[in-house]
Amino acid sequence: MSAIVIEQLEKRYGGFTAVDGLSLEVEVGETYALLGPNGAGKTTTIEILEGLRPRSAGSVSVLGLDPGTHKEDLHRRIGVMLQEGGLYPGARVVEMLELFASFHAEPRDVDGLLALVGLTEHRRAIYRKLSGGQKQRLSLAIALVGRPELVFLDEPTAGMDPVARRTTWEIIEALQSEGVTMVLTTHYMEEAERLADRVGIVNRGRLLAEGTPDELTAGGGELRLKATAPFDTRALGTHIGAPVRALGHAAAIVDVEASPEIIAAVAAWAAAHAVHLTEVRVGAAGLEEVFLEIAGDDDA
């Protein structure tokens, strides 16, 4: 069963197309991570799903409702992690949480939520005086207060310290075990790998790749190289007689099954050309490498 169905979604701002024919589905109980470079259209897509922005074309169904026409019904059932602008800068933490709790028939316990997100000692603090990470945690608490079936988390751990980030992941995992559906955006690949059941990589408002983290990172036995400085991948390819693809700064992939001979030939070429390799690795890519390859190719 699908919690979200997006078909050929488009969003134009004047002559600029921010979302360009995006189609995807999110199953009930699933955590779906939208990954993409800055400006890829992730926030625009999420805000259309939340009913906060109108779409230009295409169809969208969220929990069976059209967010364009059933925003109020939808808001009773979803949790939205508002970015800073959505909150009252002069209000106290506990007041804001109580206010949002009052919008729901069966809200979670406010004190319990404050404890969950680690804000108990800041309950009387004025919102604008909170640190960036504390604001994020309050925003998460507000998203959860109405016991939502579906939660939108737009860069939920941006600005958090490593401890707060891990605490947030544990909160998200607890929601997952309760069966809550989640749509997440993040620039932290570790976060997507840990939390997402499926990942969609977007750029320029289009879906470029989709799958479970394992599917996306399943690699052959290609050879992955990193060096201290950029090197001539074309010359290396000619020397070893195999295709070599440059990947970001001073990194490359040798696109054949890595044999001992290939590895020896790469090492010999590097030695002869004073290329200092810092990594020679056979095997699957991490999600970050997959992301760089897919989004990077699209920008090339």
Shortest distance, position 299 Cβ to ligand ATP, whole Å: 13
Hey, which residues between 43 and 82 contact ligand ATP (CB under 6 A)?
A: 43-44
Nearer to ligand ATP, 168 or 186 (CB): 186
**3-state secondary structure (DSSP) of residue 228:** coil
Nearer to ligand ATP, 54 or 220 (CB): 54
Shortest distance, position 132 Cβ to ligand ATP, whole Å: 15
Amino acid occupying residue 26:
V
Shortest distance, position 215 Cβ to ligand ATP, whole Å: 22
Residue 83 engages ligand ATP in binding (rule: CB under 6 A) = no
Strand order in the sheet with 223-227: 244-246, 251-254, 223-227, 277-282
Nearer to ligand ATP, 37 or 213 (CB): 37
Shortest distance, position 13 Cβ to ligand ATP, whole Å: 3
Distance of alpha carbon 199 from alpha carbon 5, whole angstroms: 15
Give the binding-site size for ligand ATP (rule: CB under 6 A). Answer: 11
Distance of alpha carbon 133 from alpha carbon 203, whole angstroms: 27
Nearer to ligand ATP, 38 or 177 (CB): 38
Distance of alpha carbon 168 from alpha carbon 255, whole angstroms: 38
Nearer to ligand ATP, 13 or 88 (CB): 13
Q: What is the DSSP-derived secondary structure letter of residue 280?
A: E
Nearer to ligand ATP, 31 or 44 (CB): 44
C-alpha triplet 26, 8, 288: angle, nearest 5°: 55
**3-state secondary structure (DSSP) of residue 126:** strand
Could you tell me the two tokens for 34? 């939208």
Shortest distance, position 273 Cβ to ligand ATP, whole Å: 38
Hey, which residues between 162 and 201 contact ligand ATP (CB under 6 A)?
A: none
Hey, which residues between 204 and 243 contact ligand ATP (CB under 6 A)?
A: none
Hey, which residues between 11 and 50 contact ligand ATP (CB under 6 A)?
A: 13, 16, 18, 36, 38-44
Shortest distance, position 177 Cβ to ligand ATP, whole Å: 28
Shortest distance, position 247 Cβ to ligand ATP, whole Å: 21
Nearer to ligand ATP, 16 or 105 (CB): 16
Nearer to ligand ATP, 48 or 254 (CB): 48
Give residues with Cβ within 8 angstroms of 298, minimum separation 6.
203, 204, 208
Note whether 229 and 44 are within 8 A (CB).
Answer: no
Distance of alpha carbon 76 from alpha carbon 56, whole angstroms: 25
Could you tell me the two tokens for 156? 């939920």
C-alpha triplet 249, 252, 255: angle, nearest 5°: 160
Shortest distance, position 45 Cβ to ligand ATP, whole Å: 7
Distance of alpha carbon 260 from alpha carbon 223, whole angstroms: 11
C-alpha triplet 184, 190, 192: angle, nearest 5°: 25
Q: Which residues bind ligand ATP (CB under 6 A)?
A: 13, 16, 18, 36, 38-44
